[in-house]
Amino acid sequence: MTSVDILRTPDELARAERHTAHNYHPLPVVITEGEGAWVTDVDGRRYLDFLAGYSALNFGHRHPGLIAAAHAQLDRITLTSRAFVHDQFAEFCRSLAALCGKELVLPMNTGAEAVETAIKVSRKWGYQVKGVADGRAEIIVAADNFHGRTTTIVSFSTDPDAKADFGPYTPGFIVVPYGDEVALREAITPNTVAVLLEPIQGEAGVLVPPAGYFAAVRALCDEHNVLMVADEIQSGLGRTGRTFAIEHEGVVPDMYVLGKALGGGIVPVSAVAADRDVLGVLKPGEHGSTFGGNPLACAVGTEVVRLLATGDFQRRSAELGEHLHARLNALIGHGVVAVRGRGLWAGVDIDPALLTGRQAVERLAERGVLAKDTHGSTIRLAPPLVVTREEIDHAVDQLAAILS
């Protein structure tokens, strides 16, 4: 073996293993470069990225417009804190609010921070506007939710891996089955301030609720003066063929929670968007983040909003999503048990007699396609929205091959 034949991957994996907490179980792929829907590993192997950073890379790796916006901002100013105003802030907030059809936004960094923001705003709204007695606010969430990893958020997780041994837990959350309108109706009390839901549950396996569910949620929230909060962190910003997944249901929530793709795959950018009667409850000193709404984040975020405002990515996701789902549905009965999802987002249940989800994504990686398992034999496919029809065909062909 010559020196050029020595692979770097095993050494990089061993070094990473030695110096990190084991809070992830990554596939044994060490990525060094990416462009569009493709990444390259340290040994020169190329992979189609069908996870896209759990939708953080909706615009693909290193989208030229986003990279240019980041470069330009890196050369000017990157951080001020919110103690001062900077010249990228107003346009980001204006354009994002317009995209959401809301009056105000509040920028943060990670998705979990945006969810925490939504929880705090909902509680404060409950006390100050709805008139709930102090300390009694309740927020209704769904079983099998995934909203992040903070101690408050895992307090209402139903996933033992996410929750066990992290107590004591934050009270004030009621869990109901996802998609069950009757259970939701029965859970609402005079102390309910918000219903927090994912329009499609990603982590749970790309679960799409029954048609009409969100219209019923909206009606119940209106009837009982409860805020409807849509966590669109993974489902939003073009992923399902619309700007927001909840649009498929013809419903407008009181608050959007956004993250992931808002940072263009470059920086963590999250936000909540709502009207003044909701977000206006916050006063100086009550909430914030040193990095939230920083100049680099705003410059990239503004470009993300500009890309979405064209509608091109949503259209692409809708059209190519139909193709992806048609190809995947054709595998039902050939190693696939069920396919769910919308647009360029699919949860695929592999026949458990054939492979676990983990085995499936390992075999796909060997064939140059990166995807992620969820629970049991389910895998998730979420390519960047810049993926081509041929690339989709290639990835689905690899899936078919590992199932044959």
In the complex with ligand PLP, which residue's Cβ is closer, 60 or 202?
202
Active site residue 130: no
Q: Which of 38, 47, 54, 89 lies at the binding interface for ligand PLP (CB under 6 A)? A: 54
Are 299 and 364 in contact by the 8 Å Cβ rule? The answer is: no
Catalytic residue among 102, 124, 130, 260: 260
In the complex with ligand PLP, which residue's Cβ is closer, 88 or 109?
109
CA 193 to chain centre: 24
Q: Is 116 in the site for ligand PLP (CB under 6 A)?
A: no
Q: Is 264 in the site for ligand PLP (CB under 6 A)?
A: no
* Cα separation values, 155 from 118, 160, 231, 250, 328, Å: 15, 11, 17, 31, 36
In the complex with ligand PLP, which residue's Cβ is closer, 240 or 398?
240
Q: Which of 233, 237, 273, 304 lies at the binding interface for ligand PLP (CB under 6 A)? A: 233
The least CB distance from residue 203 to ligand PLP, in Å, is: 6
Whole-angstrom distance, CA of residue 326 vs CA of residue 214? 25
Catalytic residue among 41, 49, 144, 231: 231
Q: Which of 70, 115, 272, 279 lies at the binding interface for ligand PLP (CB under 6 A)? A: 115
In the complex with ligand PLP, which residue's Cβ is closer, 47 or 146?
146
Which residue type sits at 230?
A: A
Catalytic residue among 89, 92, 146, 244: 146
Q: Which of 41, 116, 181, 198 lies at the binding interface for ligand PLP (CB under 6 A)? A: 198
Query: By rule CB under 6 A, what string of x and - marks binding of each residue 157-196 to ligand PLP?
Result: ----------------------------------------
Residues 202-221 that bind ligand PLP (CB under 6 A): 202-203
Q: Is 238 in the site for ligand PLP (CB under 6 A)?
A: no
Active site residue 163: no
Stretch that binds ligand PLP, among 92-100, 143-151, 210-218, 275-283 (CB under 6 A): 143-151
Active site residue 231: yes
Q: Is 107 in the site for ligand PLP (CB under 6 A)?
A: no
Q: Is 126 in the site for ligand PLP (CB under 6 A)?
A: no
In the complex with ligand PLP, which residue's Cβ is closer, 200 or 331?
200
Q: Is 147 in the site for ligand PLP (CB under 6 A)?
A: yes
Q: Which of 205, 209, 238, 259 lies at the binding interface for ligand PLP (CB under 6 A)? A: 259
The least CB distance from residue 75 to ligand PLP, in Å, is: 27
In 3D, which of 53, 57, 30 has the Cα closest to residue 42? 30
Whole-angstrom distance, CA of residue 300 vs CA of residue 270? 12
Which two structure tokens, joined as six digits, stand for 72? 């330009």
Q: Is 112 in the site for ligand PLP (CB under 6 A)?
A: yes
User: Known catalytic residues?
Assistant: 146, 231, 260
The binding site for ligand PLP (CB under 6 A) comprises 54, 110-112, 115, 146-148, 198, 202-203, 231, 233-234, 259
